[in-house]
Amino acid sequence: MRLRLTIAYDGGPYAGWQSQPQGNAVQDLLEKAFWKIAGTRVAVHGSGRTDAGVHALGQCAHVEVFGKMDPGDWQRALNANLPPTIRIVKSGRVAADFHARFSAKAKVYRYLVRNRPVLPPHEFGRVWHVPHTLDIETLRRAAAVLTGCHDFAAFSANRGKAARETVRTIRKIAISCRTGLIALTFEGDGFLYKMVRMLTAAMIRVAQQGENLDILRARLKKGAPKWNHVAPAEGLYLVRVLY
């Protein structure tokens, strides 16, 4: 049976999603939980990587399992064998040709910024604290510049072959602000390594320093120099994967 899992996690304690030699990635802990339950190695295939410190509300993965346990049984068993900072929020059976990565059509990320002089202590490690005033309308204009199909090479840390395949389509960037908490929600057909964090840093800098939006337009041209600023990992959330 092929299971599709929807996974939420606090990225703070972990070395990202993808398996690491030290065994401290979310994928490692999921595979260890399957080992405890099934007594055999089960490969967990995720929709894509998240960096160390990045959170997820709706990471997606698939696994091949055997035996009489149904998806609900697997969800309960996995949560009983995972740390409380990783939860299986949904488990269901899918067709044998479903692939968490290759079947994905789009992803939604959200970046949270606390724009107040003082950071509430319960938000530490979960938002980017930017104490200086930001112009929300400038943020929205920056979002309009970046929306659409562009070459985002200047806003990525990709290397090798991935560095040559840098055209992506951002379907929309929604900006909301309530009591000083700014949410930037990105929906796109795919995102390059650190792309959302670099775009966020660029948008925040423009909104903070009142720089001309041409600074963003120039970075979308082929051969443009890299954007050198990256927003902290702790403000970023993988919200959901669209299929």
- From first to last of the 243 residues of the chain, give the pLDDT tens digit: 999 999 999 999 999 999 999 999 999 999 999 999 999 999 999 999 999 999 999 999 999 999 899 999 999 999 999 999 999 999 999 999 999 999 999 999 999 999 999 999 999 999 999 999 999 999 999 999 999 999 999 999 976 555 678 999 999 999 999 999 999 999 999 999 999 999 999 999 999 877 789 999 999 998 899 999 999 999 999 999 999
Last residue of a domain, one of 27, 60, 94: 94
Q: Is the domain of 120 the same as that of 87? A: no
Token couple for 141: 């204009």
- What is the C-alpha separation between 44 and 30, in angstroms, rounded? 7
Q: Is position 189 within any domain?
A: yes
pLDDT at residue 222, as a whole number: 85
CATH number at residue 131: 3.30.70.660
pLDDT at residue 164, as a whole number: 75
**Are the beta carbons of 128 and 113 closer than 8 angstroms?**
yes
Q: What type of residue sits at position 42?
A: V
Helix crossing, 26-38 with 71-80: angle to 10°? 110
Q: Is the domain of 185 the same as that of 139? A: yes
Q: Is the domain of 84 the same as that of 176? A: no
Last residue of a domain, one of 94, 126, 151: 94
- DSSP letter, residue 79: H
Specify which residues 9 forms β-bridges with: 56, 86
Q: Is position 101 within any domain?
A: no
Q: Is the domain of 233 the same as that of 117? A: yes
Cα-Cα end-to-end distance for the chain:
19
pLDDT at residue 159, as a whole number: 63
Q: Is the domain of 117 the same as that of 200? A: yes
Q: Is the domain of 174 the same as that of 233? A: yes
Q: Could you say which of 10, 28, 51, 97 is catalytic?
A: 51
Helix, strand or coil for residue 28? helix
Q: Is position 99 within any domain?
A: no
pLDDT at residue 61, as a whole number: 98
**Are the beta carbons of 185 and 239 closer than 8 angstroms?**
yes
Q: What type of residue sits at position 98?
A: F
pLDDT at residue 9, as a whole number: 98
Q: Is 97 a catalytic residue?
A: no
Q: Is position 63 within any domain?
A: yes
Q: Is the domain of 137 the same as that of 222? A: yes
Q: Is 156 exposed, middle or buried (0-12, 13-18, 19+ CB in 10 A)?
A: buried
Domain count, the chain: 2
Q: Is the domain of 89 the same as that of 111? A: no
- Cα radius of gyration rounded to whole Å, the chain: 19
Which residues span the domain enclosing 67?
2-94
Q: Is position 100 within any domain?
A: no
Q: Is the domain of 132 the same as that of 45? A: no
Last residue of a domain, one of 61, 94, 127: 94
